[in-house]
């Protein structure tokens, strides 16, 4: 009888321990989710404040050019602070300060790779492989024709610009250059990601201050590149005056020489990545979004089928739904419709934000 009682106590104790452990895990998960919900509201509040500040500067300055204009600390400028015990951080990355892959041509990519000290033949071969993947009308070099359809795993090149940098693993020769023996992105891959953008915009903002971009545009003189870098970063001879920015391409031409003015260079931001982080103790919530002003960058759409791309069809049907909905909505007191000042090209939260830059999500 005593043995039965002891065995029963053992089973009950074991069950109780397992129950407490499971309940503890559930409580931790619930607490984390509750914290994430609170921080998420704070993060989007900080994002709204940031967008409001950017819109103020955009209207006053007739466009955004560089954080050196005064909007580098938007929360401080607006006097906004998060709740007690929390810390808010906002950082920016000028996507339009890179080379737009949808707009890049063979010569531009070749100059970019040559600036990395690749030989001319290797630079041309890599640019040729990428252009053959991205452009339907690109004529591959006769000795480098790539037959993807008869490979071990047959597939067809999309003949549109990259929608994700992971696509490089599918491009012949590019995967040998941008990936290591274990199939992981290497330093060349990271350098390519830092110099190019997946978004479609007409002009690259030279205020982004990327040496690779200037070299790709044909500014090959190291002295010219250094002068531009010093001017934008407030270093070297420009240290006394601090960081600057170009308001017009003519100002850049005055610094590097009219003959060296890069074709396709601009001074306005077409796509801006905003990173917001809210921290509370060891917990944090992150939001990363890419915005574009009116007439700015666009995301790369799917390949055209039957003369109309999927994006065009979606845009047409969405516009029709929006017009119909607008006609059904009652008029406001002012009789005006709210117009959001920026287009959201991409928005990601926490786990969706990867160390490996993702492809853009069409908004």
Burial of 53 (0-12, 13-18, 19+ CB in 10 A): buried
Asked if residue 172 and residue 313 are part of one domain, the reply reads: no
What would you measure as the largest C-alpha separation in the chain, in angstroms?
A: 101
The pLDDT, as a whole number, for residue 58 is: 95
- Does 172 share its domain with 58? no
Kindly state whether residues 316 and 345 are assigned to the same domain: yes
Final residue belonging to a domain, choices 245, 266, 287:
266
Within this chain, do residues 124 and 180 fall inside the same structural domain, yes or no? yes
- In terms of domains, do 250 and 340 share one? no
**Does pLDDT of 103 surpass 90?**
yes
117 burial type by CB count under 10 A (0-12 exposed, 13-18 middle, 19+ buried): exposed
The pLDDT tens digits for 152-201 are 888 888 999 999 999 999 999 999 999 999 999 999 999 999 999 999 99
- State which residues form the domain around 69: 35-95+270-352
Number of domains in the chain: 2
pTM of the model: 0.77
What the block records as the tokens of 99 is 């080379």
């Amino acid at each position: 009888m005593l043995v039965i009682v002891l065995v029963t106590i053992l089973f009950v104790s074991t069950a109780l321990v397992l129950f407490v452990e499971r309940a503890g895990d559930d409580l931790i998960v619930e607490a984390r989710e509750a914290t994430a919900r609170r921080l998420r509201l704070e993060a989007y509040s900080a994002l709204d404040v940031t967008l409001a500040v950017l819109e103020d500067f955009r209207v006053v300055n007739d466009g955004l050019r560089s954080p050196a204009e005064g909007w580098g600390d938007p929360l401080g400028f607006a006097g906004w602070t998060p709740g007690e015990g929390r810390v808010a951080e906002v950082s920016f990355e000028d996507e339009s300060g890179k080379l737009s892959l949808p707009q890049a041509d063979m010569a531009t990519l070749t100059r970019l790779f040559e600036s990395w000290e690749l030989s001319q033949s290797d630079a041309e071969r890599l640019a040729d492989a990428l252009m053959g993947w991205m452009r339907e009308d690109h004529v591959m070099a006769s000795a480098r024709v790539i037959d993807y359809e008869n490979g071990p795993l047959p597939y067809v090149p999309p003949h549109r610009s990259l929608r994700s940098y992971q696509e490089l693993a599918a491009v012949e020769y590019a995967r040998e250059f941008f990936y290591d023996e274990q199939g992981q992105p290497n330093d060349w891959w990271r350098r390519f990601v830092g110099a190019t953008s997946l978004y479609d915009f007409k002009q690259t903002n030279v205020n982004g201050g990327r040496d690779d971009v200037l070299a790709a545009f044909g500014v090959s003189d190291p002295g010219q590149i250094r002068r531009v870098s010093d001017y934008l970063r407030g270093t070297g001879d420009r240290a006394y005056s601090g960081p600057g920015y170009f308001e017009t391409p003519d100002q850049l031409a005055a610094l590097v020489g009219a003959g060296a003015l890069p074709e396709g260079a601009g001074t306005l931001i077409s796509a801006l990545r905003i990173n917001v982080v809210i921290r509370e103790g060891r917990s944090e919530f992150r939001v990363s979004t890419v915005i574009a002003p009116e007439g700015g960058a666009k995301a790369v759409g799917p390949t055209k089928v039957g003369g109309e791309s999927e994006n065009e069809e979606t845009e047409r049907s969405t516009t029709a739904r929006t017009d119909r909905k607008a006609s059904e909505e009652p008029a406001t007191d002012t009789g005006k419709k709210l117009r959001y000042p920026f287009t959201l090209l991409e928005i990601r939260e926490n786990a969706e934000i990867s160390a490996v830059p993702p492809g853009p999500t069409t908004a």
